């Protein structure tokens, strides 16, 4: 689909019934605030819904479709799901993902943080500054699913949640466009305690714990999920079996770090997968100088500007990885107490050019309220400045069960 040029002033005169309507296509698509994007969704949608091919005499069908997509691409993502209730045309537009593809083309993509904290059964979606939030619908699963371990990944405009219920290991996905939960599709080899990371509309899931009638098994299996086709595909297995590992994309390759093998031994090696050659490279001693213990959380890692950072959960230190020397450098400490829980309950994520850490504040040790900090890191920085963000209107427990970031 061709997009409208941003270099020349452009306005289109549409005829809605007998009333002319001027749509200004010169709105700055790089606006920092979604509140400054084209305003009330319902009003825009109702106007467009009245615009049929019969009474829009001066607009070609293809141009009309492109105008609709370009307009809605500037509407806040949290409003999209309302379009499905207007008519079949807008419902199909949402399902096509065309709006989100246009957002990417126009540079309108923004990060959204999805979080589930202790004592809660509904995920909350935040904007990058935690000034705006939205509660997700209830997920219709049993108590076993919520009381057990769950792994989550954001890919495309979907939040993938994988856990164990009475029927076994189950996949749920939240679709941002439709604001709803859908069950499946199931993994080719269902498992939990894997490492996962996404890149565009693809997500990779490596290793984990497979449960079958013959028993439980730590695996080296890797699968790729495509958010557009909603299909799973197997790729070459890793060199090592591993569970409770972490994963990321670094220098264009899928990396898997740490975890434990089939003998519950901590792994200090990492592995990188090159999709072009469909091959894995073992990285010995990648975590050799990082403190490891049996019952600690998977490595807390995040990538900012193609640099890999790690939260050392035994000391609350922030480390940065040197890919050339295969070593880690200490940059300072983080303002949360990851050491109290061996890294469990702490979120450590990248949000655009920032690192974000969420958990129990080190300055307010007795508070049960979630604390959120961010910094703009650099491998050469000597002094880290952490900025605390205020979470408006939502009060969540400081123990974070799940957290991931979606770009939509």
CATH number at residue 254: 2.120.10.80
Handedness of CA 385, 390, 391, 395 (dihedral sign): positive
Residues 284, 302, single domain; the answer is no
Question: Alpha carbon 275 to chain centroid distance?
Answer: 21
Residues 168, 272, single domain; the answer is yes
Residue 116 lies in a domain: no
Residues 321, 383, single domain; the answer is yes
| Residue span of the structural domain in which 67 resides | 11-105
Residues 171, 276, single domain; the answer is yes
Residues 304, 279, single domain; the answer is no
Residue 56 lies in a domain: yes
* Last residue of one domain, picked from the residues 229, 264, 288: 288
Residues 264, 161, single domain; the answer is yes
User: Which of 287 and 68 is assigned the larger pLDDT?
Assistant: 287
Q: What is the rounded distance in angstroms from the CA atom of residue 375 to the CA atom of residue 112?
A: 17
Give the pLDDT of residue 26.
38
Give the pLDDT of residue 351.
97
Query: Residue 383 pLDDT > 90, yes or no?
Result: no
Output phi, psi for 377, to 5 deg: -85, 160
Residue 266 lies in a domain: yes
pTM: 0.84
Query: Residue 304 pLDDT > 80, yes or no?
Result: yes
pLDDT band, residue 58 (cuts 50/70/90): low
Give the pLDDT of residue 324.
95
Give the pLDDT of residue 278.
95
Residue 117 lies in a domain: no
Residue 111 lies in a domain: no
Output phi, psi for 57, to 5 deg: -65, -25
Q: What is the rounded distance in angstroms from the CA atom of residue 113 to the CA atom of residue 155?
A: 13
Residue 57 lies in a domain: yes
Residues 98, 18, single domain; the answer is yes
Residues 145, 261, single domain; the answer is yes
Q: What is the rounded distance in angstroms from the CA atom of residue 239 to the CA atom of residue 344?
A: 27
pLDDT band, residue 163 (cuts 50/70/90): very high
User: Which of 173 and 16 is assigned the larger pLDDT?
Assistant: 173
* Last residue of one domain, picked from the residues 231, 257, 288: 288
Question: Which range among 42-46, 65-69, 196-200, 290-294 shows the weakest confidence by mean pLDDT?
Answer: 42-46
Compute CA distances 268 → 265, 286, 291, 352, whole Å: 10, 6, 10, 28
91-117 pLDDT tens trace:
888 888 889 999 999 999 999 999 999
Residues 219, 149, single domain; the answer is yes
Give the pLDDT of residue 174.
97
Give the pLDDT of residue 60.
60
- Looking at the structure of the chain, the number of domains it has is 3
User: Is the distance from CB of 370 to CB of 337 less than 8 angstroms?
Assistant: no
Closest CA to 286 of 271, 296, 266, 304: 271
Give the pLDDT of residue 266.
96
Identify the top-confidence range among 80-89, 199-208, 213-222, 286-295.
Answer: 199-208
Residues 181, 283, single domain; the answer is yes
Residues 155, 212, single domain; the answer is yes
* Last residue of one domain, picked from the residues 257, 288, 319: 288
Residue 264 lies in a domain: yes
pLDDT band, residue 22 (cuts 50/70/90): very low
Query: Residue 216 pLDDT > 60, yes or no?
Result: yes
334-373 pLDDT tens trace:
999 999 999 999 999 999 999 999 999 998 877 888 999 9
Question: Which range among 133-142, 181-190, 340-349 shows the weakest confidence by mean pLDDT?
Answer: 133-142
Residues 295, 257, single domain; the answer is no
Residue 322 lies in a domain: yes
pLDDT band, residue 59 (cuts 50/70/90): low
Q: What is the rounded distance in angstroms from the CA atom of residue 194 to the CA atom of residue 9?
A: 50
Chain-wide mean pLDDT for the chain?
86
Give the pLDDT of residue 141.
86
């Amino acid at each position: 689909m061709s997009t409208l040029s941003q270099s020349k002033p452009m306005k289109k005169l549409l005829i809605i019934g007998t009333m002319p309507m001027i749509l200004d296509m010169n709105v700055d698509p790089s606006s920092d605030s979604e509140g400054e994007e084209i305003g009330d969704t319902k009003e825009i949608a109702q106007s467009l819904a009245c615009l049929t091919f019969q009474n829009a005499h001066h607009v070609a069908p293809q141009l009309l479709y492109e105008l609709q997509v370009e307009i809605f691409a500037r509407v806040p993502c949290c409003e999209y799901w309302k379009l499905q209730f207007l008519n079949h045309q807008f419902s199909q537009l949402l399902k096509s993902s065309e709006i989100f593809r246009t957002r990417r083309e126009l540079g309108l993509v923004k990060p959204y943080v999805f979080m589930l904290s202790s004592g809660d059964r509904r995920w909350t979606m935040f904007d990058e500054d935690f000034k705006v939030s939205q509660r997700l619908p209830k997920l219709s699963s049993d108590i076993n699913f919520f009381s057990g371990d769950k792994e989550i990944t954001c890919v495309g405009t979907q939040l993938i949640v994988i856990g164990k219920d009475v029927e076994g290991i189950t996949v749920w996905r939240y679709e941002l466009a439709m604001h709803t939960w859908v069950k499946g599709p199931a993994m080719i080899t269902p498992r939990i305690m894997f490492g996962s990371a996404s890149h565009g509309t693809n997500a990779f899931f490596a290793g984990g714990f497979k449960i079958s009638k013959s028993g439980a098994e730590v695996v080296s299996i890797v699968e790729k999920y495509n958010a557009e086709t909603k299909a799973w595909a197997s790729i070459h297995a890793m060199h090592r079996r591993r569970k409770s590992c972490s994963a990321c994309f670094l220098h264009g390759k899928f990396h898997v770090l740490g975890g434990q093998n089939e003998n519950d031994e901590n792994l200090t090696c990492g592995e990188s997968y090159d999709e072009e050659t469909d091959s894995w490279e073992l990285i010995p001693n990648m975590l050799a100088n990082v403190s490891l213990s049996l019952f600690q959380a998977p490595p807390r890692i995040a990538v900012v500007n193609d640099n890999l950072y790690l939260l050392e959960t035994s000391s609350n230190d922030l480390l940065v990885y040197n890919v050339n020397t295969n070593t880690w450098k200490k940059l300072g400490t983080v303002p949360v107490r990851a050491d109290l829980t061996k890294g469990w309950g702490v979120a450590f994520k990248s949000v655009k050019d920032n690192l974000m850490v969420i958990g129990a504040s080190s300055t307010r040790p007795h508070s049960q309220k979630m604390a959120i900090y961010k910094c703009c890191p650099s491998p050469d920085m000597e002094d880290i400045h952490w900025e605390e963000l205020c979470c408006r209107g939502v009060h969540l427990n400081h123990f974070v069960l799940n957290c991931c970031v979606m770009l939509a």
